[in-house]
Structure formats: C-alpha cells, structure tokens
C-alpha cells in the first residue's frame, strides 16, 4: 500500500478536491493522514472553510470511524530554514540569511531549489517516525502541481543528486528519490471525460512512466449520470421531428408541436455528450491504469460533498 499519494491533473479538474477527499478516505478507521499543499494558494483552507494554514501541521478534519486528517501548506522559505537547520545547524544564521535576501533568491529565483524543498518536506513527513518507532502518518496525500509540471517537480532531486555528487545534500536528494520512485508512492491524475484533459492525462502518464515514477490511477471527476438508456440515446441521434409532429397531430395534441423541437434538440445534445464520453472512456481504458469515477456534485464540492467523495473513493479502493 502506498504511503505517499500524489494527486496531479489538468488545472481545474479537481486536484485539490480529490486530494482532500482521498486524505479523508484514507483516514477512516482510526488512521492519521497528512494532506499537503505545495503551491502556496491556500486551497485546502478554502475547501475546509478554515483560516489560512500556517506552516505547521494542523488537524483539520475527523474522518468516519475516528481517523484524523492533518493539513500542511508547505512554504518553500520555511522549508529552506528547516533544511539549513537540519544540515548545518544554522538556526539564527538562517534568519540572518533571510534578512540578506539569500532565501528569497533560493526560493523564488531558482525554481528548481523551491521544488527540492517542497518534495523534501513531503518525503520527510512520509518517513517521520514516532518515538516508539511507528510512522507519524499512515498516509501523506499531496495536492501537487498540474500534469504539465508534475514529472519535473517530482524528479528534481535526481538532478540535485547528480550535481552534488557527495555529502549531505547528495544523500538527502537520494533519500527523497528513493521514496518517490518506490512502491511507497503512487501518482494519480485527475481528469474530466473531455478530450483535452484526457489527452493531457495520456501524455502525463507516458512522461511519468518514462521517468520511472510510479503511476497510480486516473480519477475521472465530475461524472454526470446519463438520463437516457441506450435505445433512447440512439433514437435521440436521429431526426424524427416531422414524424413526431405528425404523430402528435394525429393524436390531437398538434398544438404542442412547438415544444417538440427544443426537447428533441436537448435530447440530441445529450446523445452527443454520451457518445463523446464513450470515446473518452475508451481512450482512458487504453492507458492500462485503474480508473475511478467520481460523481458531479450538484450542490458544489462543500464539506458534505467532500465526505461523499471520500466514501466513493473508499468504496472504489483508491490508495488501498
Ligand atoms: N465532483 C465535483 N462535483 C462538483 N464540483 C466539483 C467537483 N470536484 C471539484 N469541483 C469544483 O470544481 C472547481 C475546481 O476544483 P479544484 O479547485 O479542486 O480543482 P484544481 O484542479 O485543484 O484547480 P487548480 O488547478 O486551480 O488548483 C471547484 O469549484 C470545486 O468546488
Ligand atoms: Mg488546486
């Protein structure tokens, strides 16, 4: 079972929502999970309707059965101070560096350094143990950068290990890559049943595989139920307008013919969507990864909706 679940996907497809629901799902039955965010956007706080998260692990939700979800918005600047403290015991010197602007340089000017710090912090949480030896968190779920950046983001420590050939930074970078490339990690991609995100998912999976990163599953989000059965869909595709108008007229309800046109148009649109979705499902099946479908929440993805998505993910066995 993977202990680090990374959730990526095309922008706006529901990465943050799915990551939060997955953290809840994995926390059921007394487990403890950590939900981490790396893009400094406070998406988790918004979702759980709490104030902005500090750089500190905080309990934000209780899962069914008594599990706990903690959250952490990883801040690159603070992570750099941790990192310096860890390797060079630079407590107050770190603060001096910050005054000099060296940390701004490292965290904003050199984006690679930023990613080293973010992935490093997440892996530290995965590996962290309690005094008696058990893991602090049963699972860590990362609300990760989008598909276009995910491979580079996760692989950045490979580059670092190559640059620093020996010494503590080399060891740290190698330790991070050991976690990220092991079966302990699963990278999931969120998509919609639409052409663009499905194509992006296919490209993303190919890239992850090439880089030797462990692909988990594809989460198909916001799936709407079909309101017509197969026969009705087939019928809705044809043009039966005249026939139907005649039949209505002969049944003595010819006056309602004006309604028929728009209704048939709607049915045809629905049939078209069903057809497009079938094509996208076929494209996803070719990727040979497990796919999991989550429903579109009509009332929006509020906290009640999150618990509902968590139940679905649990039923589907995602991450288990
Ligand atoms: N299953 C769902 N049903 C209905 N609405 C959803 C569902 N999942 C997500 N949403 C809504 O879709 C929007 C985008 O979701 P979310 O913020 O999780 O996406 P994201 O991929 O993290 O976006 P970004 O790329 O901006 O980080 C939000 O308004 C969210 O409430
Ligand atoms: Mg997001």
For 269-299, how does the pLDDT look when each residue is reduced to its tens digit (9 = 90+)? 888 899 999 999 999 999 999 999 999 999 8
Give the residue carrying structure tokens 């603070």.
Answer: 78
| CA quadruple 58, 61, 64, 66: dihedral, nearest 10 | 30
Return the residue whose CA atom lies nearest to atom 8 of ligand 1. Answer: 14
> In this model, does residue 67 exceed pLDDT 70?
yes
Q: Can you give the pTM of this predicted structure? A: 0.89
Residue 320: band (very low, low, confident or very high) from pLDDT cuts 50, 70, 90: confident
pLDDT of residue 203: 98
Site to substitute for ligand 1 among 12, 21, 44, 188, most atoms within 8 A of C-beta: 12
Give the ligand at the shortest distance from the Cα of 149: 1
pLDDT of residue 109: 52
DSSP-H helix ranges across 141-240: 147-163, 167-180, 195-210, 230-237
pLDDT of residue 206: 98
Q: Which atom of ligand 1 is nearest to the CA of 18?
A: 18
* 149-165 mean pLDDT: 87
> In this model, does residue 131 exceed pLDDT 80?
yes
Which runs of E-coded beta strand occur in the chain? 4-9, 32-37, 58-62, 68-73, 139-143, 185-191, 215-223, 291-295
Q: Please write the tens of the pLDDT for every residue from 201-241.
A: 999 999 999 999 999 999 999 999 888 888 888 888 777 77
**Percent of the chain predicted with pLDDT > 90:** 55
Q: Which residues line ligand 1 (CB under 6 A)?
A: 9, 11-17, 43, 146, 221-222, 294, 296-297, 300-301
| Interval between CA 143 and ligand 2 midpoint (Å) | 7
| Interval between CA 12 and ligand 1 midpoint (Å) | 6
Q: Which atom of ligand 1 is nearest to the CA of 222?
A: 1
| Interval between CA 281 and ligand 1 midpoint (Å) | 20
Cβ pair 44, 148 in contact under 8 A: no
Q: How many C-beta atoms lie closer than 10 Å to residue 292's C-beta?
A: 21
* 182-186 mean pLDDT: 95
**Radius of gyration of the chain from Cα atoms?**
24
pLDDT of residue 250: 84
| Interval between CA 272 and ligand 1 midpoint (Å) | 24
> In this model, does residue 255 exceed pLDDT 70?
no
pLDDT of residue 230: 81
> In this model, does residue 177 exceed pLDDT 90?
yes
Give the ligand at the shortest distance from the Cα of 9: 1
Give the ligand at the shortest distance from the Cα of 18: 1
Site to substitute for ligand 1 among 6, 12, 14, most atoms within 8 A of C-beta: 14
Residue 104: band (very low, low, confident or very high) from pLDDT cuts 50, 70, 90: low
pLDDT of residue 263: 83
> In this model, does residue 69 exceed pLDDT 60?
yes
Average pLDDT of the chain? Answer: 88
| Interval between CA 12 and ligand 2 midpoint (Å) | 7
pLDDT of residue 101: 64
């Amino acid at each position: 079972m993977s202990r680090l679940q990374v959730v990526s996907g095309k922008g706006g497809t529901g990465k943050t929502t799915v990551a939060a629901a997955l953290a809840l799902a994995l926390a059921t039955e007394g487990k403890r999970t950590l939900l981490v965010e790396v893009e400094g956007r406070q998406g988790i706080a918004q979702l759980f309707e709490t104030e902005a998260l500090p750089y500190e692990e905080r309990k934000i939700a209780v899962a069914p059965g008594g599990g706990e979800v903690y959250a952490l918005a990883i801040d690159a600047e603070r992570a750099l101070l941790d990192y310096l403290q860890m390797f060079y015991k630079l407590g107050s010197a770190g603060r001096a560096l910050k005054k000099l602007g060296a940390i701004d340089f490292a965290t904003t000017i050199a984006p690679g350094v930023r990613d080293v710090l973010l992935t490093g912090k997440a892996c530290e949480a995965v590996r962290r143990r309690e005094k008696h030896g058990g893991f602090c968190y049963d699972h860590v779920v990362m609300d990760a950068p989008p598909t276009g950046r995910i491979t580079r983001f996760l692989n950045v420590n490979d580059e670092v290990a190559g640059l620093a050939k020996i010494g503590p930074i080399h060891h740290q970078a190698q330790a991070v890559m050991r976690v990220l490339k092991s079966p302990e990690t699963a990278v999931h991609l969120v998509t919609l049943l639409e052409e663009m995100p499905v194509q992006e998912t296919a490209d993303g999976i190919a890239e992850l595989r090439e880089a030797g990163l462990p692909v988990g599953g594809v989460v198909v989000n916001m799936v709407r139920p079909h309101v017509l059965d197969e026969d009705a869909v087939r019928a809705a595709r044809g043009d039966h307008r005249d026939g139907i108008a005649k039949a209505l007229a002969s049944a003595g309800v010819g006056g309602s013919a004006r309604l028929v046109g728009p209704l048939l148009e709607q049915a045809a649109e629905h049939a078209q969507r069903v057809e497009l979705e079938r094509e996208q499902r076929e494209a996803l099946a070719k990727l040979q990864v497990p796919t999991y479908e989550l429903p579109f929440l009509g009332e929006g993805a509020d906290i009640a909706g999150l618990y509902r998505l968590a139940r679905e993910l649990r039923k589907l066995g995602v991450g288990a």
